[in-house]
Structure 1
């Protein structure tokens, strides 16, 4: 463990290595390489609303990171227990040390550094709040502390959030506003069955990216999405026993996957033509077997428009329940499903509900948890 943690505060932007707007996947991936600094990370969420639950990462003993429920973006950072020496924390603002082993963060010190602010129980500035009470992050940016005029009051919590419109603090359950750390990430993936997917990326002004099954080439993916984090050659042919289109002798064992873990999306590419054959989108639902292997890809499944003039066709979204999406894809009874236990290939992994079901439709397969959350969409 580090002898101390040195953090700079950036109101409305971040704290130390943590940037507001960063994805849950990115932050957890970074924390894996920082186990010497943060040896214990607790993940807290509501299992009853697992697909849209806000998530808290508790980095003992000092830092809480609150992520938004829909897009899993870092919304609020809470620094507390500033005087806990295990490990000691040094907090800086620009060139000024606010808190350390030798420097206690008190009310008058905040006023001298940040200047005047509005009356209230806490000291509020755009993008940062200093509280004198030990409350939990679930309280958001609000506090019920009793007002005190004591200039020597010790700061117990420092809370960093985005600067809201008209300098007003934003609700802890709001989604994170677009910011530079998101640029290049997928904001929305619009699925068209039997066609492909349209990726809308940050910033909002960027042109959408169209990827079509049977048309887009691996070279195109390298140009528009960059090189994949991993190229994986297809080795698992267990599903071919269910195929009615070709015999197992016809399977091309040179097919390969482009894995874009950082986008929550992967592509199966033909080894002979190098054209996209399948597109796989991941929902990154907490508690599911694939949680944190891929970033959340916020997908919509687009239906057929009512007529030629309908520019708002119906859509199902990643947080809709399986029964609703199934009826949307096929009003008949759901097709027979197959069981899949992803922990079979993972020695030592145990989950309360490791089994998912695969439901196949024309051109699309849904992988569904026992709680009716769709964790994977496969287009073919």
Structure 2
């Protein structure tokens, strides 16, 4: 069994570092850095239509499931389905651990009186409702009738038995079934004028032969960051977006993507887009190497993985000459690059 994660519960907000609204890209990146604590992650999505159902990350060894809205790829629901595999706390008090189990009595003591719950006779489960938090308790068959006709919270069964929670849901919205995404946070100052690593993108508008305009969430209206051909410099980009995740120097010029001499292979186009790199134990990552001094100035990419944007600069003028936008569709060759 993997070491227990130690996570505080924040109803309607998140569970430890799992924050409602966080991106799938950031989540997977963090999971890759936590292999010792989170050794097994199942990734589930609809192969027929990636936008038809939630994207799911199942942390099998930790008893946690994360569900992401498929279009925005942002976390909308956190599920704990095995309390024995995780240590949970609420305002410093243990909810589940090697010494504590989430009984009805403990939940009532820590979280206070709940709203009237819901009993599902088809699954014989009672769902205890708090704002942004739901807990599920299985009800013995011989007590089904009691909870079908009563709104009593199962703090203790009439026969003296103790109910134990089997599932916990953390969400934003009316209920976990109707979970919605919280508002995106506005940009902060560290990392760049638009927030850099912490800024959240509202939308990106591509303008042919001109460039792109990134709209960041901020207050009542979005803030714009233009990236313009033959105008934007690396200094401009760093000032607006912060430093790139990596810098990739091209070794030769294959940028004429519509010319006859650039149809050799799919790999050639990947090199043009600045996304061919070395394989390590957790997947691909773009390589970063500097050109030799004897060569002519090489073009180079600034790779912003978290934004899905690569910007190519001319090696001589150091002005933007190409922009690559990535959609991060599950199952695609470029997913999570």
Q: TM-score, normalised by structure 2?
A: 0.73
Q: Does 1:198 align with 2:213?
A: yes
Deviation of 1:235 (Å):
2.2
> For the residues of structure 1 that align with 2:138 and 2:131, how far apart are their CA atoms?
20
> For the residues of structure 2 that align with 1:178 and 1:267, how far apart are their CA atoms?
25
Deviation of 1:118 (Å):
1.6
1:206-285 alignment to 2 at 5 Å? 206-235=222-251, 237-238=253-254, 240=256, 243=259, 254-285=298-329
> For the residues of structure 2 that align with 1:208 and 1:5, how far apart are their CA atoms?
39
Answer whether contact 1:68 1:173 (CA < 8 A) is retained. Answer: no
Q: Does 1:126 align with 2:131?
A: yes
Which residue in the other structure is 2:169 paired with? 159
Task: Report the CA distance shift for 1:120/1:236 in structure 2 as closer, same or farther (over 3 A).
Answer: farther
> For the residues of structure 1 that align with 2:175 and 2:24, how far apart are their CA atoms?
22
Answer whether contact 2:116 2:153 (CA < 8 A) is retained. Answer: no
Task: Report the CA distance shift for 1:92/1:281 in structure 2 as closer, same or farther (over 3 A).
Answer: same
Task: Report the CA distance shift for 1:78/1:257 in structure 2 as closer, same or farther (over 3 A).
Answer: same
Which residue in the other structure is 2:88 paired with? 91
Q: TM-score, normalised by structure 1?
A: 0.65
Which residue in the other structure is 1:21 paired with? 21
> For the residues of structure 2 that align with 1:18 and 1:181, how far apart are their CA atoms?
19
Answer whether contact 2:186 2:200 (CA < 8 A) is retained. Answer: no
Deviation of 1:285 (Å):
0.6
State the SS of the aligned residue for 1:224.
helix
Answer whether contact 1:19 1:181 (CA < 8 A) is retained. Answer: no
State the SS of the aligned residue for 1:30.
helix
* Cα shift readout 1:5-27 (whole Å, capped 9, x = no counterpart): 21211111111221111110111
Unaligned runs of 5+ in 1: 135-144, 246-250, 294-380
> For the residues of structure 2 that align with 1:97 and 1:241, how far apart are their CA atoms?
59
Answer whether contact 2:187 2:216 (CA < 8 A) is retained. Answer: no
Alignment counterpart, residue 101 of structure 2, candidates 87, 104, 107: 104
Unaligned runs of 5+ in 2: 119-126, 140-146, 157-161, 189-197, 262-294
> For the residues of structure 1 that align with 2:323 and 2:205, how far apart are their CA atoms?
12
Answer whether contact 1:265 1:280 (CA < 8 A) is retained. Answer: yes
Question: How many residues were matched structurally?
Answer: 270
State the SS of the aligned residue for 1:67.
strand
Answer whether contact 2:312 2:321 (CA < 8 A) is retained. Answer: yes
> For the residues of structure 2 that align with 1:56 and 1:272, how far apart are their CA atoms?
45
